[in-house]
Structure formats: structure tokens, C-alpha cells
Structure 1
Amino acid sequence: MNTCAFLLILAVKIYADGIEGPTAAGCTFDEDADASTCEYRQGEEDDFDWQLIHTYSSPHATPDLLRGSYMLVNASQHAAGQRAQLLLQTMSENDTHCVQFSYFLYSRDGHSPGALRAFVRVNSGPLGSPVWNVSGSRGRQWHQVELAVSTFWPNEYQVLFEATVSKERRGYIGMDDILLLNYPCYKAPHFSRLGDVEVNAGQNASFQCVASGRASEAEQFLLERHSGDLLSAAAVKHLSHRRFVASFQLDSVTRREQDLYRCVTQSSRGSGVSNFAELIVKVPPSPIAPPQLLRAGSTYLIVQLNTNSILGDGPIVRKEIEYRASQAPWSEVHGVNMVTYKLWHLDPDTEYHISVLLSRPGEGGTGPPGPPLVSRTKCAEPMRALRGLSAVEIQSRQLTLQWETLAYNLTRCHTYSVSLCYRYSTAGGGGGHNATVRECLAVEHNTSRFTLRDLPPYRSVHVRLALSNPEGKKEGREVTFQTEEDIPGGIAPDSLTFTPLEDMIFLKWEEPVEPNGLITQYEISYQSIESSDPGINVPGPRRTVSKLRNETYHMFSNLHPGTTYLISVRARTGKGFGQTALTEITTNISAPMFDYGDMPSPLSETESTITVLLRPAQGRGAPVSTYQVVVEEDSSRKVKRELGAQECFPVATSHGEAQARGGLHYYTAELAPSSLPEATPFTVGDNHTYNGYWNTPLDPRKSFLIYFQAMSNFRGESRINCVRIARKAACRDHKACPGAVPALRGDGPDPGHLCGGWWCSSCCWESSSSSLRREGTTTLTHITRKKR
């Protein structure tokens, strides 16, 4: 329908501060008005309806009411807080327009009848907050209000009026002449189009509401959210006397603040309402997955960004890598324009957290770092070898060493090891083979001191430190230390060699296998501890002899034969004497010694016997074990007896054996030492048996030499001494006696009638006492005698 025709038909009132203007369309609520042109309806979500009254046709109208036809709410007829809503038809305009209406709020006694509010709902959305409101008693008159709504096609809006009854419940609320004018409002400013605002989450959003028209100083500027929340203007700036801009700022917006917003001005004369603009809150992008490690070195990491899947909003306009060492307070960000990136100048064997940053347009468009890639660089070879190796304490068998403190810039790896390698020679003073001991020991982490134990004293120890990690090894130079002296080790018992004699011992030894320093002296001690000679007192006194370091031998003299000596040898260094080597050495025994210096003449003599005095011999180192009386045929006139090597008679020979072999001597008796405790007479040729030997009567026709022999035995060693004690001369008439018969063994006639083992009726003899002489003695060792 043409607007002009519509205005003519409705015959609507026109109000413009008393000045006529262009025609308008709307609701005048007059009795003759065309109801079809005023499309309004009562609210359905309120408590009661507005009442359309015509005071001209109502004779009983109260004088408090104004005359005319209009919509009315009688507060006294409703409960406090009850509401009545009046909804205009939905409008979709293409050009500037103005919604105008009149109202009155009146109570005779000045009490407030209630409140009147105007709402502008857009596109059937939520009702929101009132864009205009008034309350209290405003006098018994009409007041004109304008709504400058800047919502245009294809959007639509609807104006809703709501009356609310006050607690006083007195008075009236009236509305009339709701008009839609096709020209700008005069009392309310019109807003220019409000554009959408896009910001990144966490940033401040700003709406600039530009308006034109009259604005009173009491004008209130608000930013209304689609849900109805209101925000006061941060600042209002006048661009000219009819143009101004109101700025609204939302701080640190998030997705929760994303909504539709419009600008609203409020005053008692009216209200300006802008279109709804959207606050678009974009979430800065962030990768879903961490970057991927392609390669790792000791000072670099090559990664792939892996940004195919993201959280948040695009478009992505910049990619960056943020990395930091795990334990470091710092981080670095590098811009990246490729899908892979190489991080340089990293520390070896260090764990890094590497994340990708993505940015979209706008301030604050950089999203949070994506999931980190936690990766470690490889170790690098140690920077150099350890330095400062020195000894803080040197003892005879241990060294305490120290060196510089380890640091990461030296190891260049958290996994490292320090080895202390040492070597020394085991060559000793005993002439052993040279050998080298080598060993490497692991040193604990975080220590720069170590003690080498169980080292040989007075030895050069060569030490070297090695620093190793998985990538390499650095060895320091070898440093030589020398342990201090210690007491020497013991002389090896098997190095003691000796040669025993009868009254001397020659002893020789070797230097200790472990001299443990410089040998300065040897000390030899000896003491008799055992003797087979009862005449020697044991144990004897202990004697000590000192020898120089180069004298490894000693001759012991003035010893007792057949005596065991305990001999000890020990070496000495500057630290003292070492262990003692002990050995027992027994001197050789000597032949028994006779005491025939005052040899008496034979006690008696017959043709076949001779009686001599046997004196016991004195044992030298061992007691006399046995005595023998030896008879030797005196053949000096025929065969000169060889003297020298065998002057005694070690081989036991009986009379029968001597005759069978043609021997010149035989044992005529063997006596036990117990049978000769003192000088005792003994008759040679008494025809008795002594310990298995027949004391055969002597042949008167022959001359015989009588020997007395003593033998000592000790531990398989034998010594013999003999002495000639008599000579039996042959009979003067040495022819055979007539009727002579062989002598019989056993008891027989008087030995005086025997002569050479024959019975004689007559025999002549001469004493041999005048020819008695003592012969020298001979000793024989280690002789074993068999008896037959």
C-alpha cells in the first residue's frame, strides 16, 4: 500500500515538538481508527492485558484520566509487580525512520503507579534489556518519546512495551499515538551501522558506536549483549555538534564473550538503538601433535614441525619454534618457513623441550605452544684430559691422589667415567723375574680424589687419568709417584743355604723378595736348642751378629758338634726390621775321643792271650753307641800297612771271615757302652763270644796289634775313632808244637796254654809292653755297618 494513502486513511496525529512534518503511520487508538492498520497484540507471557479506553464515551470516567482514546493500566486493579505487555507488529525497514509514542504516569497523591519500559527485539531473538524506561508519577500530562532503531532489512525487529505495577498500586499508566515516522528522530540520535568485531582470544575487543543527532548531557550510552547484559561506555567523543562516537571495550575476551552486541542511548526523551554486530572471538591455533625428531647430533637437533592438525582457528600466517633446555629458565623462539628446522649451537647431552607456535592474523594471534618434543642431544667427546694430578698423601703402601674438579664443560656429557690407571714393577731384591702390574680403577662421580691401596713400598707407581664418555676418551699424561719405605719382607726360607761342619756352620741367604726399601743391615741370631751330647747345656745363650747390606753370608764358629742351632735372619730398612726367617741347623758329630795319654802296660799276657785296660771314650756330639776290640796281625815285617785313609776298622769282620778272605784284622769283641762305665780290664783271646764276635785265642806263632775302637751314631751319621792299646809278640820258638791240636770254642784250658789258637805243650813268648805305642785316629762319616 502506498504510504501516503495509508496515512490519509488512518488520519493519524503528527507530533514534532509542535511543528508539523511529514505524515506517519501507527496506532492512535481512536474510535474511528482502522484497526487493521494498527497491528498490535497483547502479550502472552505477562500477568494481565492493557485496557483500551475511550473517555469520550464513558460518562463515569474518573477525573484523574486524560481525555481521549488510549491504552491504559490501572495500577489499583492489579497486584504489585504484575506486568502487562503490548507488542507492535514486526518491522523490516529499508531507510531511516523513527518510532514515536506518548505516555503518561499519574497518581493523584504523587505515588508511583509503576514503570513503563520499551524493548526492541531483533529477529525474534531474546527480549534483552529495555532500551527505554520511566517510572514514578510524571504528572497528569502526555510525554512524547522517540526510538531511533537502526535495524534494516533483511533484519527485522519488534517493539514491545511493558507496564509494571508498583508497590503503592496507585495511579495510571497510559500509552497513545504509537507512530512510525519516515524521517529521522529529533529527540534521539541515530547510530551508524555497527560492524562486526573480530579479535583473538585473550585480547581486548572494542566497539566504536558512531551516532548522529541531538544528544543531551544526560544521555546514557550502553553496549547491550544479545542476552541482555549491559556495559557502560568507556568514553564518548564528540566529532561535531551533531555527531559523536561512543567507545566500548571488552577486556581479555574469550569464546564465552562471543555474541551479538548493539549500542543503546537512553534518556527521558527517547533512545537510540543500533543494529546487532557480532563479536567474533578466534582461538589462536596450536598444533595437536608434537614435532617429530629427524636427527640428533651433539650440538644440533633436526625436527619436522608436524602441523597438519591443529586446535583453534586459522588461517596460519606464521610458524615458530620455541625451545628450551629442560632445567633452564630461558627459552628461544625462531621463525620457521619450512616444514623442517635445524636447531644449532645446542649443548651436548642436554634434554630440550621443543614446541611449535602457530599464529593467525591479528594481535594476540599466536596460540599456545603445542605438545613438546622432549629430546636429548648426543654426547660430545670430552673437551680435554684431566689436569692437576698430584699426591696429597704418600705412605708406604698407599697413595692419595687428587685432580681438578670435573665440570660439564669438560665432560660434555652427563654419562661419563673417570678411570685411574696405574702400573708398577714387581721386581724384588730376591732376584725374581721382573713383572709389571697394571690395573685400572673406576672413580666415583662427583669426586676428584682417590686412594690407591695395597701398593708395594718404595716403588715407583706410574699413574694416568682417563676421562671417557660414549663419544670418546681423553687420557692425561702419566705422572710418577714413589711410595715410602716400609719394613722389609721376610727372607725366603728356601733361600737359606748352609754347610754344617763339626764345630762350624757356613750360612748364606738372599735379599728379601720384597725389600720394601734400601736394605741397611742384616741381623743374624743363633742359639743352641738341642744336642745329643748330654754334656752340653741346652738351650744355650742367644747370640746376635750384624752384617752389612752387601754381606749375605756368615760363618758360625766355636760350635758344639752334634748340636741343633735355631738360626734367625732378618733384614732392616730405614723403617725397621722385617720378618724373621728361621731355620734349624745341626752340626756334624765328631768321632769319640779316647784318653790314653798315660797308657799302662798290659795287665797280663800268656802265649794266646793278653789282658789290657779298656777305658771308655768321650762322645763328641753324640754318645758312644758301641765299642769294638780289633785284632790285627802284625805283618810289618812282610807287608807294610798303608796308613791314611783307613786307619780304623769301620767294616765289621769276624775271625772266620778274616781267615776266609785272607784278611789281617777281625773284630774279636763288641761291647755295649753300658758294659764299660769306667776303665775295665779285658782279656783278648779268652775264647768267649761278645755280641756275636768270638774272642779267638791268639796264635803264639804270630804277632798281633790290639786296637780299641769306639763308634758314635746320630741321625744316620757315624763317626769312628780307634787307638792301638797293645802289641802281642809271637813266641820265641815259633815252630809248631808237637801234638798241637786246634783250640775249641767255648770253655777250655787256661788261656795261658793257648798259642795262636792251638794247644801247645810248650811255648815261649816275650812281653810287648815295651813296644806299645799309640797310633793316630781316623773318623769316617755316614758308614753303615752290617753284622754277620
Structure 2
Amino acid sequence: MDGSLLLPLALLLLGPTGARTDTFKACLSGPDCVLIQSKDDDFDWEQSDTRDRTSSSPWIPAGSSFLFVNTSGRYGGQRAQLLLPPLKENDTHCVSFLFYQAGGREGVSPATLNIYITENNSPLGVPVFNSSGPAYHIWKGVELAVSTFWPNHYQVVFEAVSTGQRGILAIKDITLQGHQCLSTPHFLHIKGVEVNAGQTATFHCTVNGRPQNNLLLYLQGMGGRQAVAKETKPVNSRRYVASFDVENTTKGDSGRYRCIAQSERGVGVSCYADLTVKQPPVPIAPPQLTAVGATYLWIQLNANSINGDGPIIDREVEYRTMAGMLIDTTPVDKPTHKIGHLDPDTEYEISVLLTRPLEGGTGNPGPPLRARTKCADPMHGPRRLEVVDIQSKQVTVRWEPFGYNVTRCHSYNLTVQYRYRPAGALSREPLKDELREEEVYDTLSSVPQHTVRNLPPFTNVSLRLVLSNSEGRKESEELLVLTDEDVPGAVPVESIVGSSYEQQISLSWREPLQTYGLIRQYEISYKALSSFDTEFDLSNQSGKVFKLANETSHMFAGLSPGSTYSFTIRASTVKGFGPPVITQFTTKISAPLMPAYDQESPLNQTDSTVTVMLKPAQSRGAPVSKYQVVVEEERPRRQRRGSAEILRCYPVPIHFQNATLLNSQYYFSAELPMSELRAPLPFCVGDNRTYSGYWNAPLLPHKSYGIYYQAVSTANGETKIDCVRVATKAAIIVTQLTTPYIRIAPAAGDKQLTGAVTRKPEPEQEKQSDHTVKIAGSIAGVLLFIIIFLGVILLMKKRRRNYHSYTYYLKLAKKRKETLSSRQEMTLMVNNSQHTTMVDTHTVNGRTVSSPSSFTLKTNTISTTVPNSYYPDPFVPTAILDDSHTMTSETSSLVQSHYKQRESEREALPYQTGQLHPAIRVADLLQHITQMKCAEGYGFKEEYESFFEGQSAPWDSAKKDENRMKNRYGNIIACTYCMFLSGTVAASV
């Protein structure tokens, strides 16, 4: 129910002169019933009168009428409330009633009776009386000494709470008596209390009467908080004061409190008093930071807005370190405040404290301001810096330990600064500009030290420690130290230069870029890795040499040709050898070693073939790739007295078909692969077969040939050739003196040395195996002597006679001017229409030289039996001095010099009319020309009388190859290059 009550029509009041007693009728309806059922309960009270009807329940007590609740079928906790009408009393009074419990199990009551006293329509609050306990099956009386007086009013509420047991709870005889309760004390008025939160609120209740041992006194709050009497203190013989403490009060403890005195017969209830709990003030916002220094902080309180209750009577600033240690609390009377004497680089929490009246009025610190002071300059740099260990690439230093009192900043850096220069540098030279730094981490140890690594060995190092923070830095003293030596670096690969020869390699290098000390020596080891010659044994091709520090080159001798060697170079100091550097060089290959031939006699010889024995060559550095047979035509060539010509091999291959076009004296007749010549093999030169593209053409009987056998090795871009002369074929010459006969002329070059450029075997005397050849040689010698003798006589008698044309003298003067002091020979040709005479030797200016033998054949025989593409053209009555047929090859300098020498020996043979003409000295040339102009018989006008006028043959015949050298009109040559002699000039021999 809402607690509103209907007042009864009549309230019995005591007059001023006497006591009154009012009894509330135990009824629930009717005009005389003032008790009211609550509408906020679970079930209702019932009315019963045993005088009117017989009780159907054994628990219903006998007697007058009463009100009861039946808990049968009720759950535990269900309630039934009955309300008395509000009472406004001025005088002391007492409310009494009887209650009865029956039913339930033994020792368990069916319901609990709670008595509530509400004041001024206040909530029920906490019951002042509770009948919990076993059912007694008797009527028990209860007194209520309520000390609430007009103008306040109160109301008594009876509440029956079911325990879930079957039974009844009944009340009757509710009476308001106009006097004090007999067994229950009354209270006087109590006063309200105000405290700050967290403090103890003390209530003082004055009890009417004397203290009793069986009386329970406690303080009851409307919110349910209770406090037992701490002490009682008598006031006089009729009254005493009980004190109650409400400890640790909070804002939630605020409310109405009253004193309760519980006796055996009833309950005394005082009026309510208010407990007011104030919250101490706390600033809402933290203070504001206005300035920061190394030892101070300026703040603004910012305490206008607060949480809690005022008024504020005091302000304080509290600051502490972040570690929680309280430093100080300072009273403040201004809006701003400076906190001084702080530690550098320390974080503080700063709060504002506000205070209100009463004890405990200082509130909690407000929101903290976290602020850190600045760092200060370090007191000094690290001290007692010393070196404890020196190695080649690192130095370890140690210093005196220090702490916050030196750094004056929790965040600091300790770095080691160093710079260096090579140990060999002069002291007056400045250190390197590059300054290196390393951070030191071992700063908290009791023996701090640091190792500077990656230093260059054998180097002067200058180092110092630097202590720095955000506000400044302090340095230690400088320390100078020389790092130890170390093994040197590698020799620069690009500095290694090698020159390769056939059996030697010259090696040079430079010292390492990083010596890391003093170089003591170099170690050079070499080993053969491979060879172009697969049959070569490389197992013993290794070695090692040592060179002093000032020696940076070495010549390795005794190496094998065509082999690749690995060279390993290391430099060393006192610490040992540095890393090796490896390089490779390859020796040049050598020419194959040709087998020895004791004589040049062939195995067999015919007019057009020569059979020789070809033996395998020994490889030197590279396997023999091929063998070549070379046929060289022996032509006249002059040779200085007392000197031997070195045999030069033939690197330029020339086919037989191209020999004439290239004016070559030699051609390749065969090329044999190495696989076909592993053992000695007979070979026929001139067998008219083809070998590897080379035509082995038949040899000409009337020519002299040298048969050469050469081996070729090719590897690594090199080609080496060695050759040997294996046979000589002499020419068969047909000559006619008084009786025609055949003689064999020795081949030119029989006295030459044979062998390759790299091998010069001793010359051998050519042995004649044919008796006819010996006879021809004797005849040639006699004839040579006769011709020389006749020439000497002719020159002595006819020295100033001139039989040559003007053009011939100019040619002779030109040749003498080119050769300066050397003398030239002049070959005389005699024109005879029937036959030609071959001159073996001749004398020019008194000097005798050897000339190769030639052969004499008729013109028609040569032109019909010999191929024009190879054999030289027959002599015509014209001496042709044409250099266009000179063969020069750029393949080999040896071949070039060989052919240039042969070209320089070629002589132009002037046309002869059958008489001999002496040579004219250059000094007499002018005088002789004057005589020729004045005399008649010198042949200027008769120069061309021996030839036909104009064209003597048709053009088609003149343009043929075989007639080009015979016809002036088919091969037009300037007169400057042609020399003719007049018809018949008298001459005496």
C-alpha cells in the first residue's frame, strides 16, 4: 500500500489531568475498525473470534477475537502487512500488543513477525522488532517505546513473513498507553551529525532510565547500516548517554539514523537524526606547466573547478618522483607556484590539494601533472682512460666508472672517437680527416671497458671518450696507441705482369696495398696445370721460391713449352703470410723436333720423282697437327763468302698451280695429318697424286729441287714449324760444245744449312751418285776457268770500247747509284739463231761469284713439251727488267726476308748479238756518251734495225699468253725498260 491510513472516527486522548488507554479493535472491516490491510503484500491478515464459532484448526488459540495469518500453502518469504493509523503524540506513551505462534515443525515457527516504525511517511526501513525463533503456542506481550512527538507522526506496521511451514501467527490487544513502558526505556531527542567523507560520525543518544545489562543499544540507519553502542556515560541518576560511531563514512552513508534499545519485553525507538557526509574537494584538472629548468618547474594551480564539497579554506602543492617517493607538500597562496631544488632529468608528478572545514576536509590530490626537468651538463668527462689490450685489429680501453652524479642526465651517450694514420707516416703529417665514432654500452659495470674493432693493423690510433647528453658534452684525455702488425693483404692481381717464353716465364708484381706491417718476404709457388701436349708429364712441374721484400720479380726457367702454370703469390710479415693471389700464365709452344737425317740421299730417284723416308717429329709443347712436304726449285742466288744461309721453313702454303702466278720458288706437294705418320713412312715426291688438296706434281728433269719435310704444331693461337731438308734432286742439263752431251749440274743450294729457325744443323757435302753428273761437273769447271780468263783479257784490252746502247748505260748508272759502294755484275747474253750457249760463270769487274747451273734447250722444244703455266718463258731478244712478278708475303717476316733476298739477286740479262761488251765505269760515262755522239758505229740509229717495222703478226696471235713476252706489239713496254743492241758490231776476243 502507499502507506496512507484512514483515521478512526474517535481517538481516545488523555486529558491533561489523567492517563488514557486506547485499544485498537481486532477487526478488518466496519466503522469501528481502524486497522488497515496493506496492498503491497502477498497475502492478507484474517480476523477470527473463537467465541462465535468452533475452530476448525488445532492451532487456532481459544479466547477473544484476534487477527492472524495462515501460512499453510504459503511459500517462504511471502508477506502480509497490517498497519496502525498514524500517531501524533505529544506526551510519553507506550504501544503494546500480544502475538501467538503455532504450527510448523518442532523448533521452527511458521512465520516471522516484524515490527516497523515509520516516521513522517518515510520508507519502512529496518524492522525494530523481530520475533524469529521457535513457536511457543502461547501469547507473548511486546512494548514499543516510541519517542517521536508532535509535530512529527509515526506509524506502526505489523508484517508476517512466511517461513514455508504450516501454522498461524496471530496478534491481539493492540493498545496505546499514555505512560512510559514498564520494561523498555525511552530516548530523548538526538542531534544530527556532519562529517567529511572517510571520517567517523559519532551519535550521542540520551536514554531515560538507568543502564541495564540485558538491554541492547544500537544505532540504526534507514539505509540499513547499524552501529553498536561504543560506550555509555551517565548523565544523572535517571538518564545516561550512549555513543555510537559510524566509521569510514562515505557519501552513501548520509541519511537518517535512530537509536534502538532492545529489552526482553520490547523495543525503545528514538526519533530520527540526519547524518551529513561531505566529500573533500578535489581539483578536476591537473596543474599547468609554464616553465621547465634543470632544477625547477613553474606551474599554475588550475584549481577553480573541483569535485566534492566546499568551501575551500586551504591550498597545497604536492610533488613526488615517478618512483613514488614523496618529496614535499608546499602551502600555496597564489595561482602560480615555482617548485625548486629539483634533480636534473627527473620526472615528477605534481598535484594540488584542497581543504574544506572539519576534520578530514583535505581532499585527495588532484589529477597529477607529469613533468621532467631538463638535463644538466655532465660534471666532467670519463677519467683514468687506459689501454688494457692491443691487438692487430682492435684496442681495448678502460676508464673509471661514473654514475648519475657525473652524467646529470639519465639519457646520455658514451662514445669513443678515434682517428688513425699509417705507422710509416711522419709525425708532422696531420691525422686523417675521417673521424670515427662508436657507442659504448658497457657503462654500468664496475669495471667498464670497450673494444674498438676493425682497426687497420700497424696503425697509430688516437682515441678519446666523449660523455654527452642533450645539454652538453665532456671529453676525456686523448690516448695514443699503435696497433699490432698483422698478416698483409693480397698482392694486387692487376699488378701481376707475366711475359711468357717457350721455357721461361718472367713474373713481376707490386707489394700489397695493405701491408699491415713490414713486408719480410714473398713466397711464389708454381705448379703446372695442363699442357697442350697430352703426353707430357706434369707431375714434377712444381716448385716454390722466396723473394726478399725489395724483390718483386722473378724469372722462372726450365719450364715446359705449351704448358699452363698456376702461380700463387703471398706476402708475409712477422705475423705470417697473407691471403694468396693466384694467376695463370702459359708458356709458348716450341717447334716440333724433326728427326735427324744423316744424308740427303733419297730412297729412290727417277727423272720426275724422288722417294724419301718421312719420320715422325717429336712434339714440344703441343702435338704435331700435320706434316708437309715442300718442293723448292733451286734458282741462282748469291751468297757471301764465309757465311752460311739459315734454312727458313715455309709457313705460307702455296699450291703448285699458284706458284707461277706468285713467282714462288716453292710449292706444297703434300700435307699429311699426324695420324698417318706415327711411324717412318716412305713417300714419293712427284707421284702425280693429291694429298689434302695439294697436287704432288711430277718433277721436271731439267730443274734442280730441294725436298723439304716440315712438321706444324698449332695451339693457343700459335703456330710453330720445324723443317729439314731430306733430299736434293739435281737438274739434267743438255749442252752442246763441239759434240753434244748431257751433263748433270749440281743443284743450287747444296752448300746451304738445313734446319728450322730454331735448329741449325751442320751443312753436309752433297754426294753425287751418278758418274755422268761427276763428268758434267768437271767439264763445267774447265769451261768456267776458260770463260773467266777470256773475260779478264777482254776487259784489259777493250776497257774504253763501248758496245752498249745509251739506254743500257743509263740503266747501269742507276743501279750503281742505288747500291753506292757495292759492285754489280753484268750478265752477257749472246744471240745465236741456231743454238744458245750457257755460261756457267762470268767475271764482272774482276770479281768471281758462283751462279746456279742452268739448262739449254731449243725454243720450240720448251714451248711444246713444258707447260707454260709453270715453266719460265724462253729467252727472247729483249731483256725485260720487270719487278711485277716479285712475290711478297705478309704472313711471316722470315718468308718476306727470304723472298726479298732472292728478288735482290735477280739480274736482268741484256740482249747480245754474239759479241762481248765490257762494262763502263760511272766515272767514264760522260766521256763515253760524248764519243758515242761523234762516232758512227755506236748503234743509235741502228737500234731498231733488227726488228720489223710495225706489226709483224696478227693481234689474235700477239694476245696469246705464250706470245706475250715475245711480241712488242702484244706486250707494249716503254723503251726506257727495253735495251737493244745494234746489228753487228765488230769485236775481238
CA distance in 1, matches of 2:483, 2:372: 45
CA distance in 2, matches of 1:555, 1:164: 128
CA distance in 2, matches of 1:543, 1:263: 119
Name the aligned partner's letter for residue 477 of structure 2: R
CA distance in 2, matches of 1:130, 1:53: 31
Query: Does the 8 Å CA contact 1:12/1:28 hold for their aligned counterparts?
Result: no
Task: For residue 311 of structure 1, report the CA deviation from its aligned partner.
Answer: 1.2
**Does 1:482 pair with 2:482?**
yes
CA distance in 2, matches of 1:85, 1:159: 7
CA distance in 1, matches of 2:229, 2:264: 18
What's the secondary structure of 1:233's corresponding residue? Answer: strand
| Bigger share in strand | 1
Query: Does the 8 Å CA contact 2:45/2:67 hold for their aligned counterparts?
Result: no
Query: Does the 8 Å CA contact 1:426/1:435 hold for their aligned counterparts?
Result: no
CA distance in 1, matches of 2:217, 2:643: 164
Aligned to 2:248: 252
Change (3 A) 1:658 1:313: same
After superposition, residues 338-349 of structure 1 pair within 5 angstroms as: 338-349=334-345
Equivalent residue in structure 2 for 1:666, among 803, 819, 822: 822
Equivalent residue in structure 2 for 1:86, among 78, 84, 93: 84
**Does 1:336 pair with 2:367?**
no
CA distance in 2, matches of 1:545, 1:305: 87
CA distance in 2, matches of 1:414, 1:301: 18
Name the aligned partner's letter for residue 248 of structure 2: S
Aligned to 1:365: 361
Change (3 A) 1:437 1:424: farther
Aligned to 1:466: 466
Query: Does the 8 Å CA contact 1:50/1:84 hold for their aligned counterparts?
Result: no
Task: For residue 296 of structure 1, report the CA deviation from its aligned partner.
Answer: 1.6
Name the aligned partner's letter for residue 173 of structure 2: G
Change (3 A) 1:417 1:119: closer
Change (3 A) 1:117 1:215: farther
Aligned to 1:147: 145
Task: For residue 522 of structure 1, report the CA deviation from its aligned partner.
Answer: 9.0
1:157-203 deviation per Cα after TM superposition (whole angstroms, max 9, x unaligned): 23537496997659872245x3446xx77765443432222223233
Task: For residue 279 of structure 1, report the CA deviation from its aligned partner.
Answer: 1.1
Equivalent residue in structure 2 for 1:685, among 847, 850, 867: 847
Change (3 A) 1:28 1:275: closer
Aligned to 2:66: 74
RCO comparison, higher one (Cα < 8 Å, 6+): 1
Name the aligned partner's letter for residue 460 of structure 1: N
Aligned to 1:199: 195
Name the aligned partner's letter for residue 272 of structure 2: F
Change (3 A) 1:180 1:53: farther
Change (3 A) 1:581 1:459: farther
After superposition, residues 313-712 of structure 1 pair within 5 angstroms as: 313-326=309-322, 328-337=323-332, 338-403=334-399, 407-426=403-422, 428=424, 436-443=432-439, 445=441, 451-487=451-487, 516-518=516-518, 573-575=573-575, 613-614=642-643, 665-666=821-822, 685-686=847-848
Aligned to 1:123: 120
Query: Does the 8 Å CA contact 2:422/2:460 hold for their aligned counterparts?
Result: no
What's the secondary structure of 1:275's corresponding residue? Answer: coil
Aligned to 1:647: none
CA distance in 2, matches of 1:174, 1:431: 126
Change (3 A) 1:185 1:384: same
What's the secondary structure of 1:256's corresponding residue? Answer: helix
Name the aligned partner's letter for residue 174 of structure 1: D
Change (3 A) 1:227 1:371: closer
Change (3 A) 1:312 1:102: closer
CA distance in 1, matches of 2:249, 2:392: 80
Task: For residue 407 of structure 1, report the CA deviation from its aligned partner.
Answer: 4.7
CA distance in 2, matches of 1:543, 1:268: 126
Name the aligned partner's letter for residue 847 of structure 2: G
Task: For residue 358 of structure 1, report the CA deviation from its aligned partner.
Answer: 2.8
CA distance in 1, matches of 2:517, 2:23: 134
Query: Does the 8 Å CA contact 1:134/1:268 hold for their aligned counterparts?
Result: no
CA distance in 2, matches of 1:273, 1:440: 91
Equivalent residue in structure 1 for 2:307, among 283, 308, 311: 311
Change (3 A) 1:656 1:249: farther
After superposition, residues 208-247 of structure 1 pair within 5 angstroms as: 208-226=204-222, 231-247=227-243
What's the secondary structure of 1:666's corresponding residue? Answer: coil
Task: For residue 463 of structure 1, report the CA deviation from its aligned partner.
Answer: 0.8
1:99-127 deviation per Cα after TM superposition (whole angstroms, max 9, x unaligned): 14565668999x99999987543222234
Task: For residue 481 of structure 1, report the CA deviation from its aligned partner.
Answer: 1.0
CA distance in 2, matches of 1:481, 1:415: 30
Task: For residue 368 of structure 1, report the CA deviation from its aligned partner.
Answer: 3.1
Aligned to 1:173: 172
CA distance in 1, matches of 2:169, 2:428: 133
Task: For residue 385 of structure 1, report the CA deviation from its aligned partner.
Answer: 1.6
Change (3 A) 1:215 1:13: farther
Query: Does the 8 Å CA contact 1:426/1:436 hold for their aligned counterparts?
Result: no
What's the secondary structure of 2:302's corresponding residue? Answer: coil
**Does 1:45 pair with 2:38?**
yes
Query: Does the 8 Å CA contact 1:510/1:552 hold for their aligned counterparts?
Result: no
What's the secondary structure of 1:436's corresponding residue? Answer: coil
| Bigger share in helix | 2
Task: For residue 283 of structure 1, report the CA deviation from its aligned partner.
Answer: 1.9
After superposition, residues 95-110 of structure 1 pair within 5 angstroms as: 97-100=91-94
Task: For residue 310 of structure 1, report the CA deviation from its aligned partner.
Answer: 1.2
Query: Does the 8 Å CA contact 1:459/1:483 hold for their aligned counterparts?
Result: yes
Query: Does the 8 Å CA contact 2:378/2:474 hold for their aligned counterparts?
Result: yes
Query: Does the 8 Å CA contact 1:429/1:512 hold for their aligned counterparts?
Result: no
TM-score by length of 1: 0.55
Query: Does the 8 Å CA contact 2:210/2:240 hold for their aligned counterparts?
Result: no
Query: Does the 8 Å CA contact 1:425/1:437 hold for their aligned counterparts?
Result: no
Change (3 A) 1:218 1:400: closer
Identical pairs, percent: 35
What's the secondary structure of 1:41's corresponding residue? Answer: coil
Task: For residue 355 of structure 1, report the CA deviation from its aligned partner.
Answer: 2.7
**Does 1:24 pair with 2:23?**
no
Aligned to 2:779: none
Name the aligned partner's letter for residue 469 of structure 1: N
CA distance in 1, matches of 2:547, 2:209: 134
Listed as ranges, the gaps of 5+ residues in structure 2 are 1-9, 26-30, 53-60, 73-78, 497-507, 527-540, 556-566, 586-637, 647-756, 761-810, 826-842, 853-892, 894-906, 925-989
Change (3 A) 1:44 1:494: closer
Change (3 A) 1:472 1:173: same
TM-score by length of 2: 0.45
CA distance in 2, matches of 1:610, 1:657: 23
Change (3 A) 1:492 1:247: closer
Query: Does the 8 Å CA contact 1:429/1:514 hold for their aligned counterparts?
Result: no
1:403-435 deviation per Cα after TM superposition (whole angstroms, max 9, x unaligned): 556754444334433332222224858999976
Query: Does the 8 Å CA contact 2:351/2:368 hold for their aligned counterparts?
Result: yes
Aligned to 2:279: 283
What's the secondary structure of 2:93's corresponding residue? Answer: strand
Task: For residue 220 of structure 1, report the CA deviation from its aligned partner.
Answer: 2.5
Name the aligned partner's letter for residue 352 of structure 2: V
CA distance in 2, matches of 1:88, 1:489: 115
Change (3 A) 1:208 1:53: farther
Query: Does the 8 Å CA contact 2:520/2:573 hold for their aligned counterparts?
Result: yes
